[in-house]
Copies of this chain bind each other. A is one copy, B any other.
Amino acid sequence: MLFTVGRAFSIEAKQQKANSKAKFDAARAGQYILALCMNSEPHVAVVGATGAVGVEMIKTLEKHNFPVGKLTLLASARSVGKKLKFRGEEIPVQELTKSAFEGIDIALFSAGGSISKEFAPVAAQAGSVVIDNSSAFRMDNQVPLVIPEINGGDVKWHKGIIANPNCTTAVTLMALYPLHQAFSVKRIFAASYQAVSGTGAKAIEELKRQVEQIVKGHSVTKEVYPHQIAFNVLPHVDSFLQDGYTKEEMKMQNEGRKIMHHPTFRASVTCVRVPVYRAHSVAVNAEFEKPVTVESARAVLERAPGLRVIDEPAKNAYPLPLYQAEQADCAVGRLRRDCALDNGLAFWVSGDQLLKGAALNAVQIAEELLKSNSGVQDTEPARGIPSVAAGR
């Protein structure tokens, strides 16, 4: 059972509080932040269990041997009765209701922003830590936005909700952040090639259906996207803002600033949906403060966690979404000194957005929570707890 002070003050939490070796850093945080006390075999819920990401969350919990004490699968009423396999056991899907979170330690949410807005605070109130895959809370100053390889320490200041980043942002930052550490990134220009599974299971069906309709010479029907996606590309992901960018495009700058703790980072992005089933790719031109060479960049990227360097053009070796699908690691390649920037590097990154951009990152956050908890109980040195008031 987990608790955080300031919210979710259940009786169990109060009882456990007395036993926890809580650390208090009021001077830095400006308010009380208590370290975590997590059940070592937590009761985990997956909210949106039947969706494209939900299914991957269940698979990833199993694959990572996450110490799940109990797994509860939650979804809308129309999915109730379905069963999904976890560790060889068939687990029935239950209806998502406001009373569903009693006794749940960690709730992995991936059922869209409006479900998160409605149910995540309820879950936190009931004592769960919510790891939310939607964009609902990502830019909330009270909610850490975490990629464990980059800012895992930020899980410590959560107040019941931790946000999972946008998928395109996550895939890009897996390569960009190590370069930023070495060369200090100023800004990037990027264009994405986003798979239909980023939209969800219905979009996978839509691409399949349209391709079959075309192969059979039938007319093409549209249900998910405003235009045919088969044999087409759509420069339209998420909704449009007043300034002409889409919300998706601005996530790179906004979430990138928060995750990298880099408030002046600039990113101009064009997000494009392509007829690929799984794994997003991004073409990036990055400008740095410090001089960068292909060799120095490669050395940095080869050491980066969660990232493979695939960059042997002479052998036609570069990251490809088809081969990145179902891979935990992201891949970077096409490294070159940018010919239009002075301290610039151009590169191409590709990664399974259902994994690193969603399910895998969420499970890694859960692992970070457990680790953070055991760190308090054991002697692991505490990581810096950044100020909540620092304008994340």
Mark A residues whose CB is within 8 Å of B: 187-191, 193, 211-212, 215, 226-228, 231-236, 240, 243-245, 250, 253, 266-268, 270, 272, 274-277, 281, 283, 285, 294, 313-314, 316, 318-322, 333-341, 344, 346, 348
> A231-B322, A244-B334 are known contacts. Are A193 and B226 too (CB-CB below 8 A)?
no
Min CB–CB distance A113 → chain B (angstroms):
20
Report B-chain residues with C-beta under 8 Å of the C-beta of A339: 243, 245, 250, 253, 266-268
Known contacts being A276-B232, A322-B231, A339-B245, is A268 close to B285, with CB within 8 Å? yes
Contacts of A334 in B (CB 8 A): 235, 244, 270
Contact at A234–B275, with CB atoms within 8 Å? no
* A327 shortest CB reach to chain B, Å: 14
Which residues of B sit under 8 angstroms from A335, Cβ to Cβ?
244
Tally of this chain's copies: 2
Also in contact, A232 and B322, with CB within 8 A (given A211-B211, A244-B336)? yes
Q: Which residues of B contact A272 (CB under 8 A)?
A: 193, 281, 283
A191 touches which of B240, B283, B333, B337 (Cβ 8 Å): B283
Q: Please indicate the chain B residues that have their CB under 8 angstroms from the CB of A215 in the complex.
A: 211-212, 215
> Considering only CB atoms, which chain B residue lies closest to A344 in the complex?
B268
B270 touches A191 (CB 8 A): yes
User: Can you list 12 A-B pairs with a CB-CB distance of less than 8 A?
Assistant: A211-B215, A226-B316, A228-B322, A232-B321, A235-B334, A236-B313, A243-B339, A244-B294, A244-B336, A267-B340, A268-B285, A272-B283
CB neighbours (8 Å) of A321 from chain B are 232-233
Residue of B228, B274, B337 near A244 (CB, 8 A) is: B337
The answer to whether A281 and B322 have CB atoms under 8 Å apart is no
Specify which chain B residues have a CB less than 8 angstroms from the CB of A316 in the assembled complex.
226-227, 236
Determine the distance from Cα of A255 to Cα of B277 in the docked complex, in whole angstroms: 35
A335 to B270, CA, bound (A): 11
Q: A267: which B residues are within 8 A, CB to CB?
A: 339-340
Instruction: Report how far A296 CA is from B375 CA in the complex, Å.
Output: 58
Nearest chain-B residue to A347 (Cβ)? B270
- Contact partner of A227 (CB less than 8 A), chosen from B211, B270, B314, B322, is B322
Q: How far is the CA of A275 from the CA of B229 in the complex (A)?
A: 10
- When C-beta atoms are compared, the residue in chain B nearest to A187 turns out to be B340
Separation of A333 and B228 alpha carbons in the complex (Å): 18
Cross-chain contact A340 with B268 (CB below 8 angstroms): yes
Q: Is the CB of A346 within 8 A of B268?
A: yes
In angstroms, how far is the closest chain B Cβ from the Cβ of A324? 10
Known contacts A232-B322, A276-B231, A285-B189: does B313 contact A240 (CB below 8 Å)?
Answer: yes
